Amino acid sequence: MQTIQRQKVQLFDTHAHIDMIDNRCLGESVLNAQRESRFPVMVRIQDDFTEPHDFQMVGIVNPGITPESSRKAVQFAQQNDFVYAAVGIHPNSTGNVTSEDWSEIVELSKNQCVTAIGETGLDRYWDKSPFEIQLQYFEQHLDLGRDRDLPIIVHSRDCDDDMLATLGNQAKVSSIFGIIHSFSSIPSVAERYLDMGLYISFSGAVTYTNQKFAQLREAAKMVPDDRLLIETDSPFLIPHPYRGKLDNNVPLMTAYVAKSLAELRGTTIEHIASVTTANARKIFRKK
């Protein structure tokens, strides 16, 4: 009987909100499933991939979006050796931030489990926080990243011009070290971010084939290997073919992001997983 050779594929999810995955169960249960390479029951890996793979989750960055979720991110990182914390305040949460809240983020950023600052950035899609307040806190996050010598995890939605202008002005003062999380724009915007030295991370949206995502998929073809990252943004952005079928995205579903990127870029899943994991370990300084 012939033994099927399974290819080992190490995955590093650079953005997953662990505390938000399935409110009916504990985050620890989700993480145990990821550690043990257990996909959601509905997912049919053997049918979706033409060759057998042994997917292994080797790293997850869990970004905070409020002081409370940032505390949880640190807690999960302290309890799980493959989980790394990022602390910050999401732009849509900045409208209710107090000086005490910001002081807590600054204090949390000193924890040795913290590997990045964020999620931070700008958002014109939702009208939840005044844009001037978003901008103020985004710049404070950028300053904190420089002070701590940590990468910035950047959220940008429907505000390319604002984001490029803000980062461009910041780059005149000092180089920017960070990630454009869940990139959702066009190739020319990606080029501008690359020129600034930023990494670009792709989520489940890159697996969607309707016309709305055509330019995003074109951008995914042109990002150099050494600047490419993958993520889930769990529990959101469930990848094709499970969009609308799963209640929650989970970090192991980066396998489908890697699969889509491999198809778009004319390479293998193993290659995408290898370069994105190496890049993640480099930017987050993890062996």
**What whole-number percentage of the chain has pLDDT above 90?**
88
Q: Evaluate whether residue 3 is within a structural domain.
A: no
* Mean pLDDT along residues 162-167: 97
* Mean pLDDT along residues 56-66: 97
Q: Evaluate whether residue 276 is within a structural domain.
A: yes
- Residue 55 confidence (pLDDT) above 90: yes
Per the CB < 8 A criterion, the answer to whether 120 and 153 are in contact is yes
CATH number, domain of 211, equals 3.20.20.140
The pLDDT of residue 4 is 52
The pLDDT of residue 3 is 47
| Domain encompassing residue 14 | 8-283
| Higher per-residue confidence, 8 vs 26 | 8
The pLDDT of residue 28 is 75
- Residue 271 confidence (pLDDT) above 90: yes
Q: Which residues have CB under 8 Å from 153's CB, separation 6+?
A: 15, 61, 63, 86, 88, 116, 117, 118, 119, 120, 178, 179, 181
Question: How many domains does the chain fold into?
Answer: 1
The pLDDT of residue 173 is 85
Q: Evaluate whether residue 244 is within a structural domain.
A: yes
| Higher per-residue confidence, 188 vs 127 | 188
Q: Evaluate whether residue 2 is within a structural domain.
A: no
Q: Evaluate whether residue 1 is within a structural domain.
A: no
